[in-house]
A and B are shown apart, each in its own frame.
Chain A
Amino acid sequence: MFRSFAFRPAERWCRSRSASSLFFPSWNFPIGLSLEPLVGAVAAGNAVVLKPSELAPASSNFLATNIPKYLEKTVRVVEGGPHMGEQLLEHKWDKIFFTGSSRVGRIIMAAAAKHLTPVSLELGGKCPAIIDTLTSEGDIRVTINRVAAAKWGLCSGQACIAIDYLLVEETFAPLLIDFLKAKIKKTYLEPETLARIAHKQHFQRLSNFLKDPAVAVSVVHGGSFNAENMSFEPTILLNPPLDSEIMTEEIFGPMLPIITLKKIEDSIEFLKARPKPLAIYAFTTNEKLKRKIIEETSSGGICFNDAVVQFALDGLPFGGTGESGFGKYHGKFSFDEFSHGKAILRRNFLIEVSVRYPPWNERKLQFIRHVYNFNYFGILRMLLGFKR
């Protein structure tokens, strides 16, 4: 109480808008990743220039045609590819919001540095799902539903928060694989169910993963692909080499490596030795394990017994840490991300204490000591002493 009393009258801080923001959304959720940050930027009172991804041309075109019909001139859409991106980066912005790969994230941040523009980088990473050895069949079925959906039901795994790979005890792996195979056969083989691979370059990248013989040999389900209609069969791999590309790069596709461990607690050390992902998932009822995961690993976020759904909750901040990026948004975090919290201190002329100013002497030093210690009696005594 006494500490806060010292600096009356009013101190408070208020929001002032960030001004003009530049958005670079990604191609996998081209409408969502454009408009979600836009909600925050507009709520915070900014003007926005949005450059949708040229790799999703129909969505880009949709945004370019429709945004001007509904929103004021303060929100502009600029279509184009990397060259347009570079030109936009040469200008001065008050904030740049980027969703995409680490490689391009570096380019964006380096360009922003020239104008000292703060950036928010929503990058990716390999989001692991730790699957504990569950004993209840009901729990296993629910787990399988959620794991499968967070891989093959989410843009065919082409999502920053899709499950990238699984960590499972070696004794549990065979059962899990059987369940996953059954789930794939039942739900994820219909062509209309699966999003296709977005573009040729990406398709090439994914098929290259399987060209590594040491990886190909670890395929236990699926593995086939069709270059003509850019489709990939949901694929499961068991223990591909940890130094292969499929285990060092973010997959961003419908391949699911399963890495087996002697015991599930080993997953903590496994994760600590690797770059921080955007999300860690863990399917377990073991409270001790949950505690350990929270306290000993680091990631953008954690979700227990489900996956991806954290994206839908506005009360939770969404964003990465380390290699998965920095800055956060969703809900009020979006508003904050695009605001500057300006400190306002209102003082008045009523009380003036000359001990703040030179020329200096021991008494002034003593008085300042009392002020910093919130020693009100000491202050009063000295003031009376000064008056005398």
Chain B
Amino acid sequence: MRRRNHDKLQRPQQLELEDRRRRRGGRRKREMEMQVERVVEEAREAFESGGTRSYFWRRSQLRALKDLILESEIAICDALMLDLGKHRVEAFRDEVGLLAKSVDHALENLKKWMKPEKVRVPLVSFPSTGEVVPEPLGVILIIASWNFPIGLSLEPLIGAISAGNSVVLKPSELALASSKFLATSLPKYLDNKAVKVIEGGPLIGQQLLDQKWDKIFFTGSTRVGRIVMSAAAKHLTPVCLELGGKCPAIVDSLQGSRDIKVAINRIAGAKWGFCSGQACIAIDYLLVEEKYAPFLVDLLKEKIKKCYMRPGHLTRIVNKKQFERLREILEDPLVAATVVHGGSLDQENMFIEPTILMNPPLDSEVMTEEIFGPLLPIITLKKIADSIEFLKRRPKPLAIYAFTKDGKLKKRIVEETSSGSVTFNDAVVQFVVESLPFGGTGPSGFGKYHGKFSFAEFSHGKAVLKRSFLIEISLRYPPWSEDKLQFIRYFYTLNYIGMLLVLLGLHRYTST
């Protein structure tokens, strides 16, 4: 009896406790919402005030960003070491140095990019002038990924600022030190009314997506890309999605020993020397002729032993979740059986040995999902040209790499496959070339950036047509007649003589 009474007493107290927890959680959520709304409102006010449109503002912000990058090189490298165990040189190569170069490029070209582009108008519309005037979109939301947390935040930021927008940046919560660095440093250097940083996880992300933006720039997975685009649809917000995919490297049977050595350097560099393969443009897997494969594997093993076994020189796996995902891939018995090198896991240090697999099953996870790690499957083919059909049957990747000197094969790859980009005889370096657009197609995303493409991505090219009252041809207006129809026919075929004849023969139709 006492027990039942005790239970009866417990339940209301329990309920009250749960209710209090819920209300506290609800209050926190509401506070977060209000914080997000406030930040977005401030960014919008900053844009509406017109301050971000001027050349001087944009230049001052880019210069400030350059100062931030140069003055904070050590701090950025420290943050990347904490988040990913990235070596200072890799951090400089892939994020710091690259960003400084991008900002310089933007500063050099900003005036040119901002200039309206004159457009030819046909004589028949004389007198008139046409031009395309680039104007900022408004308030941009940038959601960055964790693997290059500084680079993938600031590279699009350079473009958005160059185009005269205000920006809200949400760095990845999976790279905490980098996120903190951005949240503390950006306000010190940049106009903190127009450039905002909001830290947080999926909940903040969702709240940000509920707001109205003029553009959303997202780098990350396909799964989250869908969520971003669905949310954007509610406000008809255009999006730029930089997603991933399985970037293959077609490796032809190269003859020269030097060529082979260079190819091995570049392949290994684009897998294990590049965030340990945790990159959207890292080489995911190789396609090789079966008779060439053993030779290639031997060279890769040698390269790994020589350059990719030193602790401290390789980025670690970012977190437990990713580590477990890769472990599960390797623990599939059918996949494990194909390991020809490596395969060992060090959970304490979050390190996975550079691993080579020979022909894992094509329907296994390692061959259907983006690996995003230091596992390198090698798929053998009867002849290298079969790689084209192999790729055509699969989703379009962000990049296709091909190591070959065969001009015909190169042509076929360019013409018959589809991908964000194609690089011959190297890998990853296309990211560094500002004159090339960077972006995906199909499941690897859409939209492009880098260099002037960034500027265009965050601008609206407004068509401006200036006409005059000087020449008025009433044949354009109703009431309609056969003669007017004939005139319009001549007009559209730019038949000036025809038009003149109609005008002369029907002078009673000129304006009154």
A residues with a Cβ closer than 8 A to B are: 3-4, 7, 11, 13-14, 16, 18-19, 94, 102, 105-106, 109-110, 112-114, 116, 118, 121, 123, 136, 138-139, 141-143, 145, 148-149, 153, 187-188, 190, 192-193, 272, 285, 290, 294-296, 298-306, 309-310, 313, 315-318, 321-323, 325-328, 340-349, 352, 354, 356-361, 364-365, 368-369, 371-373
Contacts and interface: CB of A to CB of B under 8 A. Distances in A.
B262 A349 contact: yes
A137 B414 CA distance: 61
A279 to B, nearest CB: 9
A118 to B, nearest CB: 4
18 contacts: A7-B435, A102-B236, A109-B229, A109-B232, A112-B233, A298-B462, A306-B465, A309-B465, A310-B465, A341-B448, A346-B423, A352-B262, A358-B273, A358-B308, A358-B314, A360-B88, A360-B313, A372-B97
Contacts of B327: none
Given A193-B480, A298-B462, A372-B98, A358 B307 contact: yes
B463 A300 contact: yes
B477 A301 contact: no
Given A13-B437, A113-B226, A193-B480, A290 B466 contact: yes
Nearest to B446: A118
Interface stretch (B2-10, B22-30, B117-125, B144-152): B117-125
Interface stretch (B37-45, B263-271, B502-510): B263-271
A145 B472 contact: yes
B93 A315 contact: no
Contacts of B445: 116
B437 A302 contact: no
Nearest to A296: B50
Given A145-B511, A342-B421, A193 B479 contact: yes
B409 to A, nearest CB: 13
A145 B445 CA distance: 47
Contacts of A299: 462
Most buried by B among A118, A139, A190: A118
Interface stretch (B127-135, B194-202, B374-382): B127-135
A346 to B, nearest CB: 5
A290 B437 CA distance: 34
Interface string B416-449: 0011111111100110110111100111011110
B229 A113 contact: yes
Contact of B465 (A14, A143, A296, A304): A304
B422 A342 contact: yes
A272 B50 CA distance: 11
B122 A123 contact: no
A298 B164 CA distance: 13
6 smallest beta-carbon distances between A and B, as pairs:
A113-B229, A109-B233, A360-B89, A301-B463, A343-B421, A306-B467
Contacts of A113: 226, 229-230, 232-233
A114 B273 CA distance: 34
A150 to B, nearest CB: 10
B90 A349 contact: no
B461 A317 contact: yes
B28 to A, nearest CB: 29
Contact of B462 (A11, A102, A110, A301): A301
Nearest to A114: B226
B294 interface: no
Given A112-B229, A341-B437, 18 more contacts: A13-B436, A102-B236, A116-B443, A116-B446, A118-B446, A149-B476, A300-B463, A302-B465, A306-B467, A313-B130, A317-B132, A342-B414, A347-B426, A354-B265, A356-B93, A357-B265, A369-B92, A372-B97
Contact of A316 (B130, B214, B234, B313): B130
Nearest to A188: B478
A305 B477 contact: no
A21 to B, nearest CB: 13
Contacts of A106: 233-234, 236
A358 B307 CA distance: 6
A7 B433 contact: yes
A116 B125 contact: no
Given A188-B478, A345-B436, A346-B424, A321 B89 contact: no
Contacts of A11: 430, 433, 435-436
Contacts of B132: 316-317
B105 A3 contact: yes
Contact of A322 (B128, B214, B229): B214
